[in-house]
Amino acid sequence: MPETILSICNLTKNYGRIRAVNDLSLDVNKGEVYGILGPNGSGKTTTLSMILDVVNPTSGTFTWFGQPPSHHQRKRIGSILEQPLFYPYLSPLQNLKVLSLIKEVPDTPSEELLKMVGLYERRRSKFSTFSYGMRQRMALAASLLSNPDVLILDEPTNGLDPQGIAEVRDLIRMTASRGVTIILASHLLDEVQKTCTHVCVLDKGKRLFAGSVQEVLQETVLVEIAAHDMATLQHALVGSPMIRSMELKQDLLLVNLAENISGSDLNAALYRQGIVLSHLVQRKKTLENYFLELLKSSE
């Protein structure tokens, strides 16, 4: 039985009439890299804010490390929530000092961390003089200061240069390999696919899916097909039980196959209906396909 790090149970948050998070339940186990996906405004940040106790849930509960929430647990969690927030008139070293006092850990790794994120030369400049990407890097350094058991990253690659993005990816992998549990909200599906072991997809505050990335990629079979007469082809597939959905892209039809249906099954079926395919390619399975698919079908 894996050790449960975070367990969210029927969490709901209303902002006036907007329901930002809707009856959300999920579990994150030790060592997982858990991706939270969802379009803008789907409630990712609100969810993370609730489990970090800066937003009060309308209803529902959560536990950290199997315990009811308390501020002592948050000392074991390193987090970046949306924007990097620091005292603008303090330098990185001074900011990390304040942080270390809050977290009750020594601030000895400060210089090492600043070197790692490439801010060592600027360790004595005021935070307010930093560029956006530098601030994000500073936030990364801060999130690692306490040698946390859990890392919560909300859009950690926001505003970073390509090198920075690659560094963050390496950092996540490295940190995860040390057994640190990571919860990651991101729009970069490619990133999530490369780094996460589990995902949860939110839309309008509701959970559409939760499971392992492997599971998702096995489940989805996407093929692109074309025929001489695209209209007939499309017509033949409308409402077919063999597919989940389809989408016309230029002169190709992108088809998401139903469970246990392969490309050749589809081809055979169409052939029986007198439609000859001029093109049939199985697309590489990606989280992105699945994600877009899922959102479309939930509309």
Partner 1 sequence: MIRLIRIELKKILPYRAFWLLAGFYALSLTFTLIVSQVIINKILLEAGKSAPIPLLKISLYQFPRVWNNLTYMAGFLTLFLAIIVIFFVCNEFSNKTLRQNIINGLSRKEFILSKLYFILIFSLAATLLIFLIGLILGLIHSNDVDIGEIFSSRLQFILGYFIEVFTYLVFAFFIAFLLKKAGLAVITLLFYTMIEQIIIWWKIPSEYVKFFPMKAFGRLVHFPRIPLPEINGQSIRFQDYVSILDSAIALLYAGIFVLLIYLLIRKRDL
SS3 state at 73 = helix
Distance of closest approach, residue 54 Cβ to partner 1, in angstroms: 4
If binding is defined by CB under 8 A, does position 122 make contact with partner 1?
no
124 binds partner 1 (CB under 8 A): no
Q: How far is the CB of 159 from partner 1 (least distance, A)?
A: 17
Amino acid making up residue 101: L
Which amino acid is residue 38, in one-letter code? Answer: G
Q: Are 105 and 146 in contact (CB under 8 A)?
A: yes
In terms of DSSP bridges, do strands 206-212 and 222-227 run parallel, antiparallel, or are they unpaired?
Answer: unpaired
Facing residues of 273 across strands? Answer: none
If we measure between CA atoms, which residue out of 211, 201, 184, 200 comes closest to residue 48? 184
Number of residues counted as binding ligand ATP (CB under 6 A): 11
**Options 9, 18, 101, 248; binder of partner 1; rule CB under 8 A:** 101
> Burial of 214 by CB count in 10 Å (0-12 exposed, 13-18 middle, 19+ buried)?
exposed
Per DSSP, the three-state class of 12 is strand
Q: Residue 161 and residue 169: Cα distance in Å, rounded?
A: 12
Q: Whose Cβ is closer to partner 1: residue 93's or residue 280's?
A: 93
Does 18 bind partner 1 (CB under 8 A)? Our answer is no
Helices 230-237 + 263-272 axis angle, to 10: 110
Q: What is the footprint of ligand ATP within residues 35-94 (CB under 6 A)?
A: 38, 40-46
Smallest gap from residue 165 Cβ to ligand ATP (A): 17
Q: Which range in 45-53, 136-144, 159-167, 264-272 contacts Mg ion by CB under 5 A?
A: 45-53
Q: Rank residues 82 and 247 by Cβ distance to ligand ATP and give the closer one.
A: 82
- Collapsing DSSP states into helix, strand and coil, what is residue 211? strand
CB of 82 to ligand ATP, least distance (A): 7
Show the beta-strand stretches assigned E in the chain.
4-15, 18-29, 33-37, 59-64, 77-80, 150-154, 181-185, 198-203, 206-212, 222-227, 243-249, 252-257, 277-282
* Calpha distance 141→71 (Å, rounded): 21
Selection from ligand ATP, partner 1, Mg ion, none that 69 binds (CB < 5 to 8 A by kind) is none
Q: Is 151 helix (H, G, I), strand (E, B) or coil?
A: strand
Which of Mg ion, ligand ATP, partner 1, none does residue 38 bind (CB under 5 to 8 Å by kind)?
Answer: ligand ATP
Binding-site member from 45, 79, 95, 136 for Mg ion (CB under 5 A): 45
Amino acid at residue number 270: L
On whether the CB atoms of residues 184 and 35 are closer than 8 A, the answer is yes
Closer residue to partner 1 in complex, CB, 42/79: 79
Taking CB under 6 A as the rule, does residue 18 contact ligand ATP?
A: yes
- Residue list 24-43, contact with ligand ATP (CB under 6 A): 38, 40-43
Span interacting with ligand ATP, options 12-20, 99-107, 141-149, 270-278, rule CB under 6 A: 12-20
Site residues for partner 1, 60-89, by CB under 8 A, read 70-75, 77, 79, 81, 83, 85-89
Size of the site for partner 1 (CB under 8 A): 30
Chain positions contacting Mg ion, by CB under 5 A: 45
Chain positions contacting partner 1, by CB under 8 A: 49, 52-56, 70-75, 77, 79, 81, 83, 85-90, 94, 97-99, 101-104
